Structure formats: structure tokens, C-alpha cells
């Protein structure tokens, strides 16, 4: 079997994704494909596995080929079982699919690959991102392929699942298969890859057997980065911005904590311990069973206190009225009936799945940024253009979104990292005080990650309170003042940060698990 591509060109619209790109991988090796977002890795993989046709160049790939796509190819309305067995469902007499056997067959397949926590009967759309990724990987592994392409297979996975995948990748390699994968986590590349190929701007830069992270970053970006993580210990932490008491919601059980101004509070633990429930509940997107949430006192008295005589002064015709009636206040507490109330209370949520939860891809960058705060810059329903332009150029400048690109371009044309920045820019305009950042660096390239780290630190420096979750424990370890380790929905440990060493957080989550 061979995997060989030479002189590949491929353009999308007017944008050249691959430019005279070449790539070769051998049987019996794990070959990492590294590069920034937009370097052409995903396009190359799609060309190699035949989903996309190259505009020019030759591709030779032989053997049984299987691909796990970055954007995942699961069909949301079908069950896990149907997804896994779509190509070879169990059949009875007359060649008809035995629907009653699907689930049993699928759960046998899942356990064959060591997966036990996924119900084969549940529709794919109901799975957590990491579970979807696992199902996608099982679908690929089950084909027992000779050539495997894994595009960002670990981006959504927790450490335990990464180890699981690593085991299977090695097994396939030792069986003589050719395994090609991409990752933005250097440690995985270092651990797994026999050889590394670096791509930049749609073309091959280097293929090496040994490569240090610094060398790799230099090759990928064409520049050298200074210290990867900003120093957060120097940031001054102020008064309480958010107090959570006895929160029970979804997986969460009786969670209480304070989040202070200027603080970056990490939420760690193994995947699926209630982190997602925590973020969604705080944003009002999920109804809690019990618990209270209060937003900083000074903010309420300074900006939301109604006049003493109880009448509403209509300073801004629409905004003020909406604010007065939309949010209910009992003492210091706010009742969140939905994201709308959370936004009014000054809470911003940046999700990991930008496309599904945050960004409207066909709309322009500026529309995406402006959307949540249109009322502030409009008069009688008409948008005040000057104010709009000023606000947008202010935040895009701050974030360096897609340097030099017009903000009238569709958000869908941006790379993952720039999409993430666009979502964050939107929230910057809302003057939110509390930022809920949920795995914001997922699938983002090294240079953009770096920008995002500094952006987060800047937010903290400006007195914003930040709740931070990342599937990369490394980030939590370096970027947070404090870390809450969640286990089975409870706070199992609280570590003072910056922890510095990811192992410490991992140990805390595992140690607690062992005790249970």
C-alpha cells in the first residue's frame, strides 16, 4: 500500500488551499501532519482519501482506506448503532436489515474496541462532542484499514481517551498499516509520531523523524514565539464577580464557588464530569434543579438599580425598558430564565463548537460581531453606522482578526482560530463582566492559541472574571489563578495556581476517582 501525493493544487473559490503540495507516508508508520489552521492539512487529507478532487497533481493511495474527519461525519439523526453499521448493517433473510439486531451488534463492536459508556441506541446528535469523536473513531477502526487518516482526532478527547486512541494507532501501525494524523497538541505528536511533516500556507515545508516543539513552531509559523503562556500571577484579583451556591444541574451536584474580578478560574477534571453542565447553566441555557447565582454587588447597584421612586427613566427608549423588566432581581440574586437574562446580567459564553453554538457562518464577520449588541448602537430600530463602524474596528483591531482581511467577508471563510476570535469579539462589545470560556482553543492552531491566551490574560487585567475550561489540561495548568477539579459533578479538589504542571490536575482528578 502507498500514500503518495505530488504537486497537488486545490482552490476554494479564489483561495488556494493547497499549492504544489507533496506528501508521502510509508506502511508501518505513524505519520503526523503538523501546521497552523489554514495550512492545508484538512484539505490534504480530504484529497488523499478522495473526498475532494485535486485541481492538479497526482494522488496514489492504495489499500483499504478509512478517514476520521475533523468536522466528524456522523449523521445526527441516526442512532450510534446506525452510524456504526451504515455500510454493513446486520441482514436477515431476503437481505433486509435486521433493525432489532442493530443495537446489539453495535454494542458488541463498541466493547470490542474498549468503549463502554456510549448507548448505541441514542441518536448521534445527543452525544457530547468527545463521545461523537469516539464513535467516529470506532467507525474508522472497525474497518480495520490499511491506510488511516485521522484529522484532529484528539481535539475533543480527554487524556484517557487519547491514550485509548494512541493504543489503537500503535496496534494498527504494528500490523503494518499506515497511520496519518493531525494534531495541534505537540505532546501527542512527540509521543506518537514516527515521522512529522510540517505544512505551511498550503505547501510542504519539511518531513523529519525528530523535531522539537520550538523547531516545529518555527517551521509552521515562519516565526518564533516567545513564552507560550502569559504570566497570570501578576494580575490583580479584585472583589467577587460571581457567586455560585449549591448548584445542582444535569451532572452537577451541589457546586459552590466564587469567581472574582480579574480572576481566571479553571475548571478541570476528566471529560464529562459536569463541566459542560456548569457552563450551560451559568449561561441560562440549562435550567438548574437547585442553587443560587449572584452577580457582583457593585455592578447591580451602579448600573441596574431602579430610581428610588420606582419609576423607569427611559434613558434609551428600548434598552432601558427591556432591561428593567427582563431581569428579575431578588436582593442580589438574578433569576436566569435563559441566555437572554444571562447576557443582560453581564455573562458571556464562548462555546467550543463555534459553528453550532456561536457563529452564523454565512453572515459577514462584522454582522456576527455586531449581532448581540445591535440595540445599543441603534436609534428607533435603525443602526447608527458610525457607532457601528467604530465599535467593530475597535474590537477587530484588538483581536487582530484575520489581519488585513475585510470584515465584510463571510465568517465561514475564516479559519477555526479566527472564527473563535470573532465569537470573542462579539462578547467584548457587550461589556460583559463574566466570561465563560468553554474549550475555546479546541482545534485552533498554535499561533492563534497564543493570541487567545494573551487575550484572556488581557481580559483579566481589565477586571473581567473568567471561568475557563479546556480539554487541554496543560492550558488550565498554566493560565489559571485557581483550578476547580470536578469529579462526578462535584468539586473534588481546588488547586491554587498557576499549577504549572498538568500532571498535578490530572492526578487530582484520577486520585479522587480511585478513592470513590
Partner 1 sequence: MRDLQDRLGYLVLIATAVAYFAVYTTSLGRPPGSFDYLAILNTTMPLALVAIGQSLVVLTGGIDLSVGGVVSVCVAVTAATGGAPGWILVVLLLGAAAGLVNGLIVAFGRIAPILTTLATLSIYTGAALWVLPVPGGSIMPEVRAVLSNPNIPTALGWLALAVAGWWVLRRTRFGMRVYAVGSDETSARAVGIPVERVKTAVYALSGLCSALAGVFYVSTTTAGDANAGAPFILTSIASVVVGGVAFTGGRGSAMGAVAGAVALTLVIDVLFFAGIDPLYQSLFQGLFLVVAVLLGTAAALLARRRTT
Residues near partner 1, by CB under 8 A = 51, 67, 69, 71-78, 82, 86-87, 89, 95-99, 123, 139, 250, 286-287
Shortest Cβ 153–partner 1 spacing (Å) = 15
Shortest Cβ 2–partner 1 spacing (Å) = 21
By C-beta, is 61 or 446 nearer to partner 1? 61
Cα 345 from Cα 508, distance rounded (Å)? 33
Cα 27 from Cα 178, distance rounded (Å)? 4
By C-beta, is 42 or 107 nearer to partner 1? 42
By C-beta, is 70 or 243 nearer to partner 1? 70
Q: Map grid coordinates 438548574 to a residue.
A: 288
By C-beta, is 96 or 496 nearer to partner 1? 96
By C-beta, is 23 or 69 nearer to partner 1? 69
Shortest Cβ 303–partner 1 spacing (Å) = 32
Please confirm whether the linkage preceding 464 is cis (ω < 30° from 0). Answer: no
End-to-end CA distance of the chain: 48
Shortest Cβ 327–partner 1 spacing (Å) = 21
Nearest to 35 by CA among 192, 219, 188: 219
Shortest Cβ 107–partner 1 spacing (Å) = 18
By C-beta, is 67 or 159 nearer to partner 1? 67
Helix (H, G, I), strand (E, B) or coil at 330: strand
Distances (CA, A) of 212 to 35, 37, 203, 450: 14, 19, 20, 18
Shortest Cβ 267–partner 1 spacing (Å) = 20
Shortest Cβ 95–partner 1 spacing (Å) = 8
For residue 444, give every residue at least 6 positions away whose Cβ sits within 8 Å of its Cβ, in sequence order, or none: 37, 184, 416, 417, 420, 452
Shortest Cβ 435–partner 1 spacing (Å) = 24
By C-beta, is 133 or 473 nearer to partner 1? 133
Nearest to 123 by CA among 157, 155, 79, 81: 79
By C-beta, is 62 or 393 nearer to partner 1? 62
Nearest to 268 by CA among 515, 516, 514, 496: 496
Sign of CA dihedral 205, 209, 210, 212: positive
Q: From the CB of residue 227, how many other CB atoms can be counted at a distance below 10 Å?
A: 9
C-alpha cell at 272: 464529562
Shortest Cβ 201–partner 1 spacing (Å) = 25
Do 442 and 352 touch, CB atoms closer than 8 A?
yes
CB burial string 10-45: b at 16+ within 10 A, e below: beeeeebbbeebbbebebebbbbbbbbbbbbbbbbb
Cα 230 from Cα 286, distance rounded (Å)? 33
By C-beta, is 46 or 421 nearer to partner 1? 46
Nearest to 374 by CA among 337, 426, 321, 425: 426
Cα 297 from Cα 101, distance rounded (Å)? 58
By C-beta, is 286 or 324 nearer to partner 1? 286
By C-beta, is 261 or 276 nearer to partner 1? 276
Shortest Cβ 283–partner 1 spacing (Å) = 14
Q: From the CB of residue 408, how many other CB atoms can be counted at a distance below 10 Å?
A: 9
Shortest Cβ 96–partner 1 spacing (Å) = 4
Could you write out the DSSP letters of every residue in 58-111? EEEE-S-EEEE-TT----TTSBHHHHHTSSS--B-GGG-B-HHHHHHHHHHHHH
By C-beta, is 340 or 454 nearer to partner 1? 340
Shortest Cβ 75–partner 1 spacing (Å) = 4
By C-beta, is 96 or 302 nearer to partner 1? 96
Shortest Cβ 452–partner 1 spacing (Å) = 27
Nearest to 418 by CA among 407, 431, 430: 407
Nearest to 149 by CA among 183, 122, 121, 182: 182
Amino acid at each position: 500500500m502507498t500514500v503518495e501525493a505530488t504537486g497537488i493544487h486545490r482552490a476554494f473559490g479564489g483561495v488556494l488551499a493547497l499549492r504544489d503540495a507533496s506528501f508521502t507516508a510509508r506502511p508501518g508508520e505513524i505519520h503526523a501532519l503538523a501546521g497552523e489552521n489554514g495550512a492545508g492539512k484538512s484539505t490534504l487529507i480530504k484529497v488523499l482519501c478522495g473526498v475532494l478532487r485535486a485541481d492538479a497533481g497526482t494522488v496514489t493511495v492504495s489499500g483499504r482506506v478509512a478517514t476520521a474527519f475533523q468536522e466528524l461525519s456522523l449523521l445526527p439523526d441516526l442512532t450510534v448503532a446506525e452510524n456504526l453499521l451504515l455500510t454493513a448493517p446486520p441482514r436477515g433473510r431476503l437481505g433486509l436489515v435486521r433493525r432489532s439486531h442493530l443495537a446489539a451488534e453495535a454494542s458488541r463492536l463498541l466493547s470490542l474496541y474498549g468503549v463502554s459508556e456510549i448507548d448505541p441506541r441514542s441518536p448521534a446528535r445527543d452525544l457530547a462532542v468527545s463521545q461523537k469523536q469516539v464513535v467516529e473513531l470506532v467507525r474508522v477502526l472497525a474497518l480495520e484499514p490499511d491506510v488511516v487518516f485521522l484529522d484532529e482526532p484528539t481535539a475533543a478527547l480527554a487524556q484517557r481517551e487519547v491514550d485509548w486512541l494512541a493504543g489503537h494507532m500503535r496496534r494498527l501501525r504494528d500490523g503494518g498499516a499506515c497511520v496519518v494524523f493531525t494534531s495541534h497538541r505537540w505532546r501527542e505528536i512527540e509521543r506518537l509520531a514516527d515521522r512529522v511533516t510540517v505544512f505551511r500556507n498550503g505547501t510542504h515545508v519539511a518531513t523529519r523523524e525528530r523535531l522539537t516543539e520550538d523547531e516545529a513552531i518555527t517551521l509552521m509559523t515562519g516565526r518564533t514565539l516567545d513564552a507560550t503562556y502569559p504570566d497570570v500571577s501578576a494580575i490583580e484579583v479584585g472583589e467577587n464577580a460571581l457567586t455560585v451556591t449549591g448548584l445542582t444541574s444535569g451532572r452537577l451536584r451541589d457546586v459552590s464557588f466564587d469567581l472574582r474580578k480579574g480572576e481566571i478560574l479553571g475548571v478541570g477534571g476528566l471529560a464529562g464530569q459536569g463541566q459542560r453542565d456548569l457552563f450551560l447553566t451559568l449561561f441560562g441555557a440549562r435550567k438548574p434543579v437547585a442553587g443560587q447565582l449572584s452577580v457582583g454587588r457593585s455592578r447591580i447597584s451602579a448600573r441596574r438599580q431602579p430610581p428610588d421612586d420606582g419609576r423607569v427613566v427611559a434613558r434609551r427608549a428600548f434598552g432601558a425598558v427591556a432591561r428593567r423588566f427582563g431581569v428579575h432581581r431578588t436582593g442580589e440574586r438574578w433569576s436566569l430564565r435563559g441566555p437572554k437574562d444571562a447576557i443582560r446580567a453581564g455573562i458571556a459564553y464562548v462555546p467550543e463548537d463555534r459553528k453550532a453554538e456561536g457563529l452564523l457562518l454565512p453572515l459577514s464577520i462584522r454582522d456576527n460581531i455586531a449581532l448581540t449588541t445591535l440595540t445599543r448602537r441603534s436609534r428607533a430600530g435603525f443602526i447608527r453606522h458610525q457607532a457601528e463602524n467604530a465599535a467593530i474596528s475597535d474590537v477587530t483591531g484588538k483581536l487582530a482578526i484575520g489581519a488585513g482581511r475585510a470584515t465584510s467577508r463571510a465568517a465561514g471563510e475564516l479559519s477555526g482560530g479566527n472564527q473563535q476570535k470573532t465569537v470573542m469579539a462579539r462578547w467584548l462589545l457587550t461589556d460583559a463582566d463574566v466570561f465563560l470560556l468553554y474549550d475555546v482553543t479546541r482545534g485552533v492552531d498554535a499561533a492563534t492559541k497564543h493570541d487567545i491566551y494573551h487575550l484572556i490574560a488581557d481580559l483579566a487585567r481589565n477586571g473581567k472574571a473568567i471561568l475557563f475550561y479546556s480539554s487541554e489540561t496543560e492550558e488550565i495548568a498554566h493560565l489559571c489563578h485557581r483550578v476547580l477539579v470536578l469529579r462526578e459533578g462535584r468539586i473534588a479538589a481546588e488547586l491554587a495556581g498557576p499549577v504549572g504542571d498538568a500532571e498535578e490536575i490530572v492526578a487530582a482528578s484520577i486520585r479522587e476517582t480511585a478513592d470513590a
